[in-house]
Amino acid sequence: MERRLPPEYDGWQSHELAFRRMTTPELVVEVQDGPPARRLAALSVIDLTDVAPDTIADWIRALPDAEANELAGAIPAQRPRASCSEDLRWVEVARLGYERRRLPTFLVMLFSSLEAMEARGCAETQLAWQNIGDWLGEMYDRLVKSGDEDSMGDVSLFVFENYLNRDSIFESLCGLICRHEDLAREVSSNPSVYLASLSEQDQRTALLEAESAGGLPFSQSWAALQE
């Protein structure tokens, strides 16, 4: 499905072919100074590995949403022959992007970068997952405090429904269930959405935590999960 973009981006695809022949410094200039359609096209082809971290941080802060989404999609997650340090860099870029913009594309690229580290067998992988698990709990608390229901839904859709088989993310969910009654009710009301791929022990743990925090009775949510 083609993205719906504001009218100022009309025709942005027409620039892509020419921009693929440009150098990274030339593309950076387009992103910095070009009109919207050219900025978006430049972001669609730029190699972020050659862009200074401070420049990327400035773009995360300042670009309009459509361009920030394109920037997130340009994060080179799971790139062949990348090093573990490069993957860890993109984890941090995506984390920063999501913190500042709350666009789900950054969330997707964050976990894709973690999976790339995992696939490469990086020594830093376990600590990276643990750090992101801790960050996720803090981030979700902030979303609840600000009443950002759309972003809470994004975390459930793109993280909790896909990565609970990682210990740090499961631990983060259990902590959040204890702190947020609405999440306890959501998980206990839809246990198969969140918990179907987990071990029976982890399923029981999550549903007992949910019951204690104001969710459905364990017997009811457990029966629903078995069905």
Instruction: Look at residue 47 and tell me if it is in a domain.
Output: yes
Written as one letter, the residue type at 45 is: V
Angle between helices 218-226 and 200-212 (to 10 degrees): 140
Does the residue 141 lie in any domain? no
Residue 79 has a pLDDT of 79
pLDDT confidence of residue 97: 98
In a domain, 222, yes or no: no
Count of domains in the chain?
1
Phi-psi region of 44 (alpha: psi -120 to 50; beta: other; left: phi over 0): alpha
Q: What percent of the chain has pLDDT over 90?
A: 95
Domain assignment present for 124: no
In sequence order, the 6+-apart residues with CB closer than 8 A to the CB of 50 are: 24
| Residues 73, 109 contacting (CB under 8 angstroms) | yes
Domain membership of residue 174 (yes or no) is no
pLDDT tens for 206-217 read: 999 999 999 999
Which CA distances in Å does 203 have to 129, 174, 208? 21, 11, 9
Q: Is residue 177 part of a domain?
A: no
Q: How far apart are CA 183 and CA 189, in angstroms?
A: 10
Domain-located, residue 61: yes
Range of the domain at 61: 1-74
Q: Is residue 53 part of a domain?
A: yes
pTM greater than 0.85 = yes
Give me the residues of the chain with pLDDT under 50, please: 1
pLDDT attached to residue 3:
61
Q: What are phi and psi of 50, to 5 degrees?
A: -100, 5
